Structure 1
Amino acid sequence: MSQKRNPPTQGLLLPYSSVHPFSLIPLSSRSSVQSLLKSLLDPLQPFFSPLKSRIRIPGATAVRFDQTASEVEGICRPLWGLACLLAGGGSYHGTELWIEGIKNGVDPDGPEFWSYPLDNDQRMVEMCPLGFALAVVPGIWEGIGEKGRRDLENWLGNSINEKNMPNTNWLWFRVFANLGLKKNGGKFSQERLDADIEHLETFYRGDGWSNDGPEGIHQMDYYSSSFAIHFLQLVYSNLAGKDEPARAAEFKKRAQMAALDLAHYYDEQGRSIPFGRSVGYRFAMVSFWGALAYADVELPAPLTWGMVKGIVLRHLRWWQTQHDMWSPSGTLTVGYSYPNMYMAENYNSPGSPYWACLAFICLAVPETHPFWTSKEEDHWSVIPRVKALKQPGHIMSNLGGHCMLLSSGQACSYPMKGTHAKYGCFAYSSAYAYSVPPGLFTLEQYALASQLGLSDDGGEYWKTRRLSTSAMEEREGSPVLVSIWAPFVDVQIKTYLIPPKEETPNWHLRVHHILAGREVMTADGSFAICNEREEDGRYLGLYDAAKGEGTQPKLIGNYDLLTPEAWAPGRRGAFAVSKKAGAVGIRALEDGAAGGKERMANLVNADPNSNLVESRTTIPTLQGTIKKGEKVWYVTAVYAKPPPANGKKGARKDLDGWDKLPEIPKWLKDEISKSSGSGSKL
């Protein structure tokens, strides 16, 4: 069906070098966060369909579902923010557009009917914000009229209750569809609501954490906390707690436990650690913290409401500095810090990023709540700098100027695009985001930041860690992550991940014991870093100590990799220093690989747009070759030192820890020694 649409020239149309209104709002009070939300909603208005039931957000990209569902995303996802604003007593001049759009969207005889969902239909996801909005904003149910209410009951309740759904966090979406109807006296299924929650309980693993799926899946990312499960448990506790006090108390108890873990994902500057899928939802990463206040959870010691408020507002302020995430019309783009389809999942439509509006659950919190009345505080003054998280299989660290997680190697339940980068990296950082492959030919396209790649064809195609078995161990009083994985059927790898120590805060260790049943090339990458000179924006040159910028050895580019000055001995290593991003590097600590062959270090000039935050990056990398039948120990030290949080450029010492190498632990030396000459099993 062809529809006449408002011309996009009525949008915001940001001119060159202008700043989005989102970035111009000083954040401190509840009213300032209300204004921040409105700066997100305003640019959507020119893109409503004639009957207001859909929003076609700029960006003609296809997804795995139909165009109508994509445009239903466009109108429903912003409801997370609008409903929270209205529920908290705020107002918005465009509210009637959404009410009119809902009425016309559910009208089966109307020209803009959303259509009933099929099994596993994307429309089911968008029923969740609609159900929430119905539950907290009575004006919607009243405003759509008697016929609209009957149509909504059929579209929202009857259709979803009869269909199959993915065995994931999606089940919560059906819960909220029924809850929204229940709150307004509409037709709903209590039996289906209860059955879905009972099944969702099987996802719970302990210590406050739930998997995004049933037993056998190890996937605990932001869906386990802010994007879906914990967030919706807490919202449900508020809305249904009086009727189900025991269930509400259990959900709050889990949130208390998880809060002490999740606090480790946000650094002092407000950055969260990008990890897993759907990070294009951006500031939704902090919605868990606003939901704590919405559910009026009693915070676990030593956290305070001032600390929770600080996590949320610092995070939003950091996103205010990301000026490239907007379209010229002022709408959010698919991407992270800039538009990026390489990192997108096949379900990311132009409307998809507006799941970010979950972050505004804090606006539904009364202004008298201590979340709003408390002074902002820094939670890092009271929580440990290194902590092992049993359930997600992470070792968290905040030493050396950034938050970092060492990962056991989770895996999405299906092999989505870039899944090895989103879950299989060894380390994820709040200062150095992960990279995804924009192509699948040579290291430049694979962009193996914080990954070990192996190639058996001379370096054209590379395989990395995706599926693994893992364990959290304690060695000499410190946590260590151990994972076993096989990039090829006859190549076995046992990887140890060892967090930084106070005396060498900028280094962590990755140790790989490799048994090669075929000849393989190896490439062990550090974090990716901005590859732009401050003075002219060109690629980094050879390191200049006076300027405090550059690489060692020389960054040659993609086409002259045999140039001698592009390589250095592995023990000398490779590093890159950027005025914008600090320094990263990598060094080999082993005495030599099999046959006494030392790995060599170079700078991989990653293809543009592979990194989530920096569009041009380089990756210091160690490379080597293992012959068929050889057993090799690689001991890799990875350096990372972001610039100071105050932004001062003078007296920077980005490399002052580069020559202070971390010690190889005695237990590891003993393990290496014992394995010499032993059998082939790890």
Structure 2
Amino acid sequence: MTPPTPLTLGYRTPHPFSLLPLSSRASVQSLLTTLLDPLLPFFSPLHSRVRVPGATAVRFDQAASEVEGLCRPLWGLACLLAGGGSYGSTQYWIDGIKAGVDPDSPEFWGFARDNDQRMVEMCPLGFALAVVPEIWAGLGEEGRGNLEAWLGGGVNEREMPDTNWLWFRVFANLGLKKNGGRFSQERLDKDIARLEVFYRGGGWSNDGPEGIHQMDYYSSSFAIQFLQLLYAKLAGGDGGREGERAEEFRRRAREVSLDLVHYYDAEGMSIPFGRSVGYRFAMVSFWGALAYADVELPAPLTWGMVKGIVLRHFRWWQTQHDMWSSSGTLTIGYSYPNMYMAENYNSPGSPYWACLAFICLAVPESHPFWTSEEEALPVDLLPKVKALEQPGHIMSYLGGHCMLLSSGQACSYPMKGTHAKYGAFAYSSAYAYSVPPGLFTLEQYALASQLGLSDDGGEYWKTRRLSEYAGIEDREGKPVLVSVWKPFPDVKIKTYLIPPDEATPNWHLRVHRIEAGREVMTADGSFAICNERSVDGRYLDPYDAKTCEGTSPKLIGNYDNDTPEAWAGGKDGAFAVSKGAVGIKALEEKDVGRRAMLVNADPNSNLVESRTTIPTLQGKIGRGETVWYVSAIYAKPSGEGIAKETYLDGWEKVVEVPGWLRTEISGA
């Protein structure tokens, strides 16, 4: 077989992924091939492994990392083939699977141990077996026996994390079952029964049992809800108990879809939130799975709207030209290569979990998902502000972006940057969250949409990670998120998150009651925004009304802001204007002593913009003091039809402090 010619991306060379106009099923099929083709030069000699460029280590062994490189793109390839499409190099994967499960092969994958990463890759393999019979047939009798031993025997007697991973074993058994192979119905049933313990209501499943509050994209598009729908399609036709399960999974999907639609904006961007967002366009796979599983949509959703959500999401990613390696493969990161935001399980092949988004290719061309005209996001038909009980979010479509306020969620273990991925107060489709590239000074902590506290003069900072209490409470008929948390054992904070309203749509309120058992410095950050002048890419200057760019007060630079021109009064606030505008002001009269400034965040801290600045309020609290901070956070994103002269239109019209809040403050 002639080795494929590697793709080489030079200076400003666009990736083929970015060049395809998207409208039809055929165009999305072509889009997938632009992801698969660059992988071909990196297959091992027997094709059982793919060493995706990027020599980075992960918490598991190198062989498992390279198995990821083969199996994760299989999500897309299997969907393409199941939908009647074709791919000229499909045999690479069939040959690779055959060699990988052969114990006598020099490229044997190795049997799974307890909690082994190989178990994750059994999920796309099981799905591919279930929907592409040619794979099973192409292995031959000996190969099928080896696969049964590796896939079934290798996972059914092993321990697995008590998380969404249980679905991976379900699909390993389902793939074998669909082909008449040896599988364990008992294990399959036990795993689904255990996964049912994760269900919380309203269509939402938690990523773990009682005691864990983690409902991110794993609960919808990465794993749980997504795989429920695939299971409903593949096993629901068996009738009986399987049919009942399938209908229940479809019912949950209908219910949760009216919540999940609030995570996507009119331009196609989804709100980055939680871990593994390096899976990129997998964040939209739930919507294609709705069509695949023949779910009846709830009003006001239509298939034209669902189609629009998916296609616009792909189109947004087509504009992210820096997410590729020079060989055309996906990198670890988000809009650009970024190891700071990566989890310890993100190998170079890990980003190809993004191929879940191509489940839409397994949907028949005759389905209304494909035959309907693409429709806009139904923003006018949806609540402008909506409280989502199960994830503990308040969603907003006001102010020109899709935003969520969050309290109480946390990963079950303290992963890198977990306070930024789950503990921030606000997440936006327009202004992505930031992670710390270091742990020394505010510039490295990059506290976008977070309150940081330091008891050592500003070197180390603690933020919200775990909450002692978190809940959506009613205040005069409107939802407010309330949380109680302790950055230090003797510092207690009660935080109120108040969504925007129609009168001041670009503002939301963040309120803290802080009881300080020790002296602390505080830093309250707004959203992070691009810190580049449009004319030449250099750092922003003081705000210029002619160019409609810049900051107020002056952005001084790293670690050198001890100068009067770098500071403003808390009520005057700080803002930055580039791709839209963000800012922060102190409102409450008891909120004394805080000053406003710009934090020049270290590069590569933000997921989307590699250079950012964060308008911030700083203060000090003495030991034994109790204070109230009332911060108003401003955001007006850029966008099509939004004149740059209007970015600051709402800055002077600050949101009013609600009467109920004034009463609580005065009574404290």
Report TM bin, short chain: over 0.9
Q: Kindly provide the amino acid, as one letter, of the partner of residue 112 in structure 1.
A: E
Where does residue 201 of structure 1 map in the other structure? Answer: 196
CA distance in structure 2 between the aligned counterparts of 1:655 and 1:152, rounded to whole angstroms: 61
Where does residue 489 of structure 2 map in the other structure? Answer: 489
Q: Secondary structure at the match of 1:400?
A: helix
Where does residue 618 of structure 2 map in the other structure? Answer: 623
Of 55, 58, 61, 1:60 maps to 55
How far is the alpha carbon of 1:644 from its aligned partner? 2.5
Matches within 5 A, 1:343-362: 343-362=341-360
How far is the alpha carbon of 1:398 from its aligned partner? 0.7
Deviating above 4 A after TM superposition, structure 1's stretches of 4 or more consecutive aligned residues are: none
Where does residue 480 of structure 1 map in the other structure? Answer: 480
Q: Secondary structure at the match of 2:39?
A: helix
Where does residue 561 of structure 2 map in the other structure? Answer: 561
How far is the alpha carbon of 1:652 from its aligned partner? 3.0
How far is the alpha carbon of 1:651 from its aligned partner? 5.6
Q: Secondary structure at the match of 2:646?
A: coil
RMSD between superposed Cα atoms in Å: 1.1
CA distance in structure 1 between the aligned counterparts of 2:58 and 2:644, rounded to whole angstroms: 48
Matches within 5 A, 1:114-263: 114-243=109-238, 244-263=242-261
Q: Secondary structure at the match of 1:160?
A: coil
Task: Give CA deviations for 1:473-520 in whole Å, capped at 9, x if unaligned.
Answer: 111111000000000000000000000000100000000000000000
How far is the alpha carbon of 1:174 from its aligned partner? 0.1
CA distance in structure 1 between the aligned counterparts of 2:262 and 2:224, rounded to whole angstroms: 19
How far is the alpha carbon of 1:377 from its aligned partner? 1.2
Q: Indicate conservation of the 8 Å contact 1:306/1:375, yes or no.
A: yes
CA distance in structure 2 between the aligned counterparts of 1:194 and 1:230, rounded to whole angstroms: 17
Where does residue 606 of structure 2 map in the other structure? Answer: 611
Q: Indicate conservation of the 8 Å contact 1:515/1:630, yes or no.
A: yes
The answer for unaligned runs of 5 or more in structure 2 is: none
Q: Secondary structure at the match of 2:108?
A: coil
CA distance in structure 2 between the aligned counterparts of 1:67 and 1:382, rounded to whole angstroms: 49
Q: Indicate conservation of the 8 Å contact 1:409/1:470, yes or no.
A: yes
Give the number of aligned pairs.
663
Task: Give CA deviations for 1:417-470 in whole Å, capped at 9, x if unaligned.
Answer: 000000000000000000000000000000000000000000000000000020
Where does residue 502 of structure 2 map in the other structure? Answer: 502
How far is the alpha carbon of 1:598 from its aligned partner? 2.2
CA distance in structure 2 between the aligned counterparts of 1:145 and 1:76, rounded to whole angstroms: 20
Task: Give CA deviations for 1:67-92 in whole Å, capped at 9, x if unaligned.
Answer: 00000000000000000000000000
CA distance in structure 2 between the aligned counterparts of 1:614 and 1:252, rounded to whole angstroms: 38
Q: Secondary structure at the match of 1:510?
A: strand
Q: Indicate conservation of the 8 Å contact 2:396/2:500, yes or no.
A: yes
Matches within 5 A, 1:206-605: 206-243=201-238, 244-378=242-376, 379-468=378-467, 469-578=469-578, 581-593=579-591, 597-605=592-600
CA distance in structure 2 between the aligned counterparts of 1:645 and 1:176, rounded to whole angstroms: 43
| Residues 1:563 and 1:67: Cα distance change in structure 2 (over 3 Å) | same
Q: Secondary structure at the match of 1:254?
A: helix
Identical residues among aligned pairs (%): 78
Q: Secondary structure at the match of 1:590?
A: coil
Q: Indicate conservation of the 8 Å contact 2:408/2:471, yes or no.
A: no
CA distance in structure 2 between the aligned counterparts of 1:386 and 1:10, rounded to whole angstroms: 51
How far is the alpha carbon of 1:591 from its aligned partner? 1.0
CA distance in structure 2 between the aligned counterparts of 1:542 and 1:303, rounded to whole angstroms: 45
Task: Give CA deviations for 1:237-287 in whole Å, capped at 9, x if unaligned.
Answer: 000001211100000000011000000000000000000000000000000
How far is the alpha carbon of 1:10 from its aligned partner? 4.2
Q: Secondary structure at the match of 1:396?
A: strand
Where does residue 42 of structure 1 map in the other structure? Answer: 37
Q: Indicate conservation of the 8 Å contact 2:638/2:644, yes or no.
A: no
Q: Indicate conservation of the 8 Å contact 1:59/1:350, yes or no.
A: yes
Where does residue 3 of structure 1 map in the other structure? Answer: none
Q: Indicate conservation of the 8 Å contact 1:448/1:525, yes or no.
A: yes
CA distance in structure 2 between the aligned counterparts of 1:383 and 1:600, rounded to whole angstroms: 38
- Comparing 301-310 and 125-134, the one that deviates more: 301-310
Matches within 5 A, 1:652-663: 652-663=645-656
CA distance in structure 2 between the aligned counterparts of 1:480 and 1:28, rounded to whole angstroms: 40
CA distance in structure 2 between the aligned counterparts of 1:296 and 1:652, rounded to whole angstroms: 47
CA distance in structure 2 between the aligned counterparts of 1:644 and 1:291, rounded to whole angstroms: 29
CA distance in structure 2 between the aligned counterparts of 1:34 and 1:474, rounded to whole angstroms: 47
CA distance in structure 1 between the aligned counterparts of 2:341 and 2:576, rounded to whole angstroms: 24
